[in-house]
Structure 1
């Protein structure tokens, strides 16, 4: 009897491993091995063409840590993250609440209108916003001239160039984040909201004291993808519109890795910068789990 049970357990174990082996192999090949090889390359000087790699030890890391450009990229990255959190997390969170608990008519229309921009590709969105914000022939510049205001050239203005590039990522991710948060709002009991209304609780308190705690698990997911996926999305408009200019004012740590590798062909520095970027995101993820995850409500 024990022998049969052992054989059955072994068969089930083999079957289980056979199911997870393809996904595990893909994860190792496309995630772990590139990470290990990137870490290995960060200790070399190599241009991706020469058959020989020159070992330089920690020089790539030291050069990056002593370069003012690295801190410029980090500062720009923080600005990108702040804008993406505000426009891809906070704003759709508020609009999802309004659509679910405040609006009485036209909910489906607004859902559709807010989701449609996410169907536009990043390249098309970048070119469209380039036209919209054109200070000479764009609609915004034309309207401002009617009020006697001259619109600055956004592609040459520090701060404004980051905002415009971020808007392309917002167009792509806003609709998806809005629908995800909307689905989280649907799990909140309408009876609970109605009871709060009967007690004449202000809408802002209903949002902060009832809706936010009960939808916190959905919110933390959207917060994480707003940062991680948003930083991936800003790469394309940066490449299409500014190539990191003017004077690296629109670049960020992700585009900096690409520029080091495929513009300057400095594979070692690019690898070191990518490892530094990964460490920064791991620190942010650790802080999220340590200080934010504790307050998350998971149903059941």
Structure 2
């Protein structure tokens, strides 16, 4: 009887061990259908020349990748993407950190109003925001151009100026996502021990030292999260203002890797070229993540 009882217990334990895997099956199916299969199919398409209309695909091997690397405008788009990422890291990672620090520890009055005002644009569609900024920043009839005219100044035609166009599109994207990053960082800073901060202030430690030597290290786990999603925003979120405002112009000056992959596939119908560009974009993002984990993650503070 003891042997039978032990066998029954073992069967019961093995059944309990399988329950979590059974519960994961729906999620695995969803990931397989909407993530893994599209990824594998994109890799497959990158080795073919296909226009999404022809019933047959022509196998070209690595020629799509070689064409991308041999095309001068590809390097221009790589540079644009890097520029977007750097700008958004400054606007959507560094500046929200400072804002969160100031509002939490210095501007203690009305901080609820400041938080609400900064977070409000997160509820508004980026398409609506792009159209709104296009009107505000219209260099001829926009409100800002009229104000500049009162002082005898002229706004540049930013949508046709290389450099300016990336900066303005980055501002539009930042207007949408700034508030979310700010709230996340504010919550992290607000969770730091008040006793530690007050002790430093009683010892007349300057605010800039409190920020760099207490706030940054102790909120670094959240900071690295915001750092990573800001890189994603530089690759992905900026697609919407590019599509709505410039369509990648002038002369690819505002395009980035994500938009260019879309343009190649759904405007020029060069599906294989677009798939190869998408794979290269994913590889670049993975390299950035590896570098981040190698050189940045080691200095992160995790409580407990």
DSSP-derived class of the 2:296 partner:
helix
- Which residue number corresponds to residue 39 of structure 2? 35
- Which residue number corresponds to residue 58 of structure 2? 54
- Which residue number corresponds to residue 119 of structure 2? 115
- Which residue number corresponds to residue 294 of structure 1? 298
- Which residue number corresponds to residue 12 of structure 2? 8
1:65-105 deviations in whole A, cap 9, x for unaligned?
Answer: 00001101100000100111111111111000011111121
1:193-230 deviations in whole A, cap 9, x for unaligned?
Answer: 00000110000000000000000000000111111134
Q: Distance between the aligned counterparts of 1:235 and 1:162, measured in 2?
A: 12
Indicate which of 167, 192, 195 corresponds to 2:171. Answer: 167
- Which residue number corresponds to residue 273 of structure 1? 277
Size of the alignment, in residue pairs? 300
1:75 is the counterpart of 2:55:
no
Single out whichever of 4-13 and 261-270 deviates more from structure 2.
Answer: 4-13
Distance apart, 1:5 and its partner CA: 2.6
1:283 is the counterpart of 2:292:
no
1:214 is the counterpart of 2:214:
no
- Which residue number corresponds to residue 157 of structure 1? 161
Give the aligned CA root-mean-square deviation in angstroms. 1.0
Indicate which of 108, 112, 134 corresponds to 1:130. Answer: 134
Indicate which of 226, 230, 242 corresponds to 1:238. Answer: 242
- Which residue number corresponds to residue 203 of structure 1? 207
DSSP-derived class of the 1:134 partner:
coil
Indicate which of 165, 176, 197 corresponds to 2:180. Answer: 176
CA contact (8 A) 2:122 2:180 kept: yes
Q: TM-score, normalised by structure 2?
A: 0.97
1:258 is the counterpart of 2:262:
yes
Q: TM-score, normalised by structure 1?
A: 0.98
CA contact (8 A) 1:173 1:230 kept: no
Distance apart, 1:119 and its partner CA: 1.3
Stretches of structure 2 that go unaligned for 5 or more consecutive residues are none
- Which residue number corresponds to residue 69 of structure 2? 65
Q: Distance between the aligned counterparts of 1:5 and 1:57, measured in 2?
A: 56
- Deviation above 4 Å: which 4+ runs of structure 1? none
Q: Distance between the aligned counterparts of 1:243 and 1:133, measured in 2?
A: 17
1:19 is the counterpart of 2:23:
yes
CA contact (8 A) 2:235 2:257 kept: no
- Which residue number corresponds to residue 147 of structure 1? 151
